[in-house]
Amino acid sequence: MEREKTYFHLLLEVTKAITSTLDTNEIFKLITLKIPEVVGVDAATIRLLDAAGKKLVLQAASGLSDTYLKRGPVDAEESVLEALKGTPIAIADAPSDPRIQYPEAARAEGIKSILVVPIAIRGQITGVLRLLTRSPRVFDPQELEFVTSLAEQCGIAIENARIYANQQRQLNYFKAVCEIAKAINATRELDQILNLIVTRLPEVMRLKACSIRLIESPKGRLELKAAYGLSPSYLQTGPP
3-state SS, 120-136, equals: EECCEEEEEEEEEECCC
Domains with residue ranges and CATH for the chain: 2-165 (3.30.450.40), 187-235 (no CATH)
Q: Which of 32-41, 105-114, 173-182 has the highest mean pLDDT?
A: 105-114
Residue type, 183: A
Q: Which of the pair, 181 or 4, is modelled with greater confidence?
A: 181
pTM passes above 0.75 = no
Predicted pLDDT at 54: 82
Q: Which of 2-6, 34-38, 67-71 has the highest mean pLDDT?
A: 67-71
Predicted pLDDT at 219: 76
Among 13-17, 74-78, 162-166, name the one with the lowest average pLDDT.
13-17
Among 183-187, 210-214, 223-227, name the one with the lowest average pLDDT.
183-187
Predicted pLDDT at 25: 79
What is the mean pLDDT of the segment spanning 109-113?
Answer: 94
Predicted pLDDT at 104: 93
Which residue, 66, 86, 93, is CA-closest to 126?
86
Predicted pLDDT at 210: 93
Secondary structure of residue 32 in the 3-state scheme: helix
- Say if residues 142 and 180 touch (Cβ distance below 8 Å): no
How far apart CA 98 and CA 79 sit, in angstroms, is 9
Within 13 Å of residue 232, how many CA atoms lie on the same side as its CB? 0
The DSSP code for 111 is -
